[in-house]
Structure 1
Amino acid sequence: MTTLRLRPEGPADTGPVRRVLAAAFARPDVAAPPEVGLVEELRACDAWIPELAMVAEYGGEVVGYALLTRVRVKSERGSAWALTLGPVAVAPHRQKLGHGTAVVQAALDAATELGERLVVVLGSPAYYRRFGFSRADRMGLTSPWSGLGEPWQALVLPPATSDAPPPPRGEVVFPPPWAKV
């Protein structure tokens, strides 16, 4: 019986991840979807956290991907680190089988294990609500996407210790590669 294997992305996964992203975000008007370039640029910047780039592998084939990278939350009290989720992709022939949910949950679990406190995402509220995401603006978080309302979402991860600081509030600043998407 073939099972879904969830693990951090390794060096040999670059090509397979690129193919999953290209297929999942394919559009007839572009040769390569911007999500492909986004991941490649994020890998090369200091927002990249190797343990939080997760792949879903089925039958030896990479079929899903979820990426968490660094963002900064700035407020009048200073700034703090948080994470952003995306892109998330599943190969078209493996969609609607739970692979996306599994790979996102694996990434969120890995972030929790690393002691991270906050994740933001821009995406479908109906999809991301299953993980506990809710409107980010109601948590005191702003971004270039705040005006979109419900799709701008955040998730507070469980604290690693009882004396962990509360999750940050303020303006979420994305690393430069996000400006191209």
Structure 2
Amino acid sequence: MSIIIRTENESDFFQVHNVNFIAFGEREDEARLVERIRATQNFVPQLSIIAEDNGEIIGHLLLSKAKIIEDEKRHEVIVLAPIAVRSDYQKQGIGKQLIHEGLNRCKELGYYLVLLIGHPSYYPKFGFRPARQFGLELKQFEVPDEVFMVCELKENELKNIKGELEYPRAFFG
């Protein structure tokens, strides 16, 4: 198995759709979410990352722009959603490779906060911590504190930013 992690391109869209469809139990939600995000200004092409094995796409990670609103201020941040790995490739570190690559690219592009709603025992390995303890809020979705998380990619970035995370309209179909 020789996994290649690379930026998605237009010729990958069909396979990316299928990976998301299959990985999420043959539901269209995540696959359609990717398509909706691609059609907005929140889409950052370098942050749509795929894992490929022998020319076949087996995993996909999408990071896109969102905002944290603090009174009159708007802070641009990144949200991670979705991440999908084909079931026959799960538990082999592919999701981990995609996340590491994604976080590194965020840092290189000057995005220092990444937020997500995710599994509380998986994402802390990558530096994600419960976000509400840092003065961040999420009201668009009702989620427990432990699944709303933030990863600080530059020291002290969380000291300067407080407020409510606002997911873009694309997340709401």
Q: Name the TM tier (shorter chain).
A: over 0.9
Q: Distance in 1 between matches of 2:71 and 2:21?
A: 40
Cα distance, 1:105 vs. partner?
1.0
- What residue in structure 2 maps to residue 156 of structure 1? 152
Q: Distance in 1 between matches of 2:165 and 2:159?
A: 16
Percent identity, aligned pairs only? 30
Counterpart of 2:52 (choices 52, 57, 75) is: 57
TM-score of the aligned structures, taking structure 2 as reference length: 0.93
Cα distance, 1:167 vs. partner?
5.0
Q: Distance in 2 between matches of 1:36 and 1:177?
A: 12
Q: Is the 8 A contact 1:118 1:167 kept in 2?
A: no
Q: Which moved more, 1:34-43 or 1:150-159?
A: 150-159
Query: What does residue range 21-100 of structure 1 map to in structure 2 within 5 Å?
Result: 21-27=20-26, 32-76=27-71, 78-100=73-95
Q: Is the 8 A contact 1:122 1:145 kept in 2?
A: no
Unmatched runs of 5 consecutive residues or more in structure 1: none
TM-score of the aligned structures, taking structure 1 as reference length: 0.89
Unmatched runs of 5 consecutive residues or more in structure 2: none
Deviations 1:47-98 (A, max 9, x none): 1000001101112111111110010111025111000001000011111111
Q: Which moved more, 1:94-103 or 1:75-84?
A: 75-84
- What residue in structure 1 maps to residue 166 of structure 2? 173
Aligned residue type for 1:177: A
Q: Is the 8 A contact 1:145 1:152 kept in 2?
A: no
Q: Which has the higher strand share?
A: 2
Aligned residue type for 1:145: F
Q: Is the 8 A contact 1:54 1:65 kept in 2?
A: yes
